[in-house]
Amino acid sequence: MTTRDYLASLFSLEGRTAVVTGGSSGIGRGIATALALAGAHTVLLARGAERLDEVAGVLRERGCTIETVVADLGTRDDIHAAADDIVAVAGEPDILVNSAGINLRPHMDRIDEEIWDITMTVNLEAPFLLGQRLAPGMAERGFGRLIHVSSQQAHRSFVDSGAYGVSKGALESLARSQSEAWSARGVTANTLVPGFVLTPLNQRLQDDAGKVAALAARTTVGRNGVPEDFAGAAVFLASAASGYVTGHSLFVNGGFSVH
């Protein structure tokens, strides 16, 4: 066996179909790019058609097979419709990455039911409902990968964790429950845990150069994250190589959590 064939047997995603919610921006875009370049037929899902088309165009130019689904994961009905649209454009997927997320960051004093509901719906219910719709088929076919994107705020509270931290803590528990349910039939469920990553999500924090530098100093690597930092971990968790890794939270944070 050549080195190339050996690496392909572990990590190639050729013949797989992947869905990346939030695949039009930030960490989701970084992950979608990695999965698509590793060979997966990749579906990008988000609300904004323009950004989806732009990312899809860039990836198609690099030889990737890409579909897009315009969907809002902000209501249950729309999440169910999104699942139907995913299957309509690409068939039943093998890999589901839940990267779409919102972080509204109000102080706990100002968190009302509306903020609570939308945070839980996008960050937690969408991964749950998409898993309910797509994972049983993966289990039937004997291979599946559920990959969630949580946060340091699943593990500790800082910069107004509020409802967001709760949603991310529950998301890691969801991965463990999904692991219990489906891993014996080839479907793993894991979580990627970012540190502070320079994306549009936290633009407001990035406007404060002092805060950005302080967050970089919290890591042991000495810098904040970029979406490309998730490429290797995402391909690993999506591939055959990680078949015995499940229910795990993988910190991709430059040492933020150990410093």
Site residues, ligand NAP (CB under 6 A) = 21-22, 24-28, 46-48, 51, 71-74, 99-103, 122, 149, 151, 194, 196-197, 199-202
Catalytic one among 128, 164, 196, 251?
Answer: 164
* Beta-bridge mates of residue 251: 193
CB of 215 vs ligand NAP, minimal distance in Å: 9
- Least gap, CB of 4 to ligand NAP (angstroms): 32
Catalytic residue at 6? no
- Minimum distance of ligand NAP from residue 245's CB (angstroms): 20
Greatest Cα pair distance, the chain, in angstroms, is 61
Closest distance between ligand NAP and the C-beta of residue 239, in Å? 21
Find the helix or strand (DSSP H, E) in which 68 lies: strand 66-70
The one-letter amino acid code at 141 reads R
Concatenating the DSSP letter of every residue in 155-176 gives: TS--S--HHHHHHHHHHHHHHH
Annotated catalytic sites, by residue? 164
